[in-house]
Structure 1
């Protein structure tokens, strides 16, 4: 073991009780805290000279632990939870098929993307009418007032938008798109 590695291990080991305590406060779990401290050790061990050259080694490791936890939080936030066994049992009890998409999650995200894709086939005026009445639940009168249009103008615009959407969907159905 070279001198730098020995110094690194000695300094890090001296800080372990404080680091473990700080990690427990950050994570709320002694088990998770041990993982964070270990991950910080592995990350810092790649470039021990930075750690050893830092005026506050504890602050250096603490910052590394916070960064690791932030990265983990960001990854977890992007993950879509899949239904577990209890959720599948609940779905069966409610009469849902296991093949039905669960409410929310990826199914909802895909539905939103499909809505945005279909709105792209409409003019801006048609899309505004469809969004307000069909998606946001405003009445035709309320939507017309919000847009500063006459009721019949909005109704005609919306009817044309529905016709355009039907044509797009029919074309896609016929051509397997």
Structure 2
């Protein structure tokens, strides 16, 4: 039995949330290449049942849940694999354009890329649920109740994950500041 292509409204709705979803995927996945794969996998999951995605009151939240699931599942698969040869320095990609900036302020996107890499580095030190709730509440502006609903956990569980994540982030930041002196 072949899958019928998703309706045009599905593609239009998904394309509207794609930039935001992609930015969050980079934060969760750690590399732009892997984020593209994760977003594509999430698209395929959603396209299998487009009516659920379109009927959801907040399509971004529904897509973020699918993305979080893809990232978590991929991480679990990777943990079971044994790496052959790890090559350091292979993740050096060019920074993307940020928008109109003044010539005197332009640094080629280096400062923004450094900030993005720092956020990714810090988020990778958290569990996927902790990172997910921090992204939803602190970066996307959802409430704890909304984040809990999106992630399909109890409100208290989401609040506990966020509290632990923020505590861990504070520890990491305090530790890094002590080493800069």
- TM-score, with structure 1 as normaliser: 0.43
- TM-score, with structure 2 as normaliser: 0.42
Larger radius of gyration: 1
Which structure carries more helix by proportion?
1
Higher RCO by CA contacts (8 Å cutoff, separation 6 or greater): 2
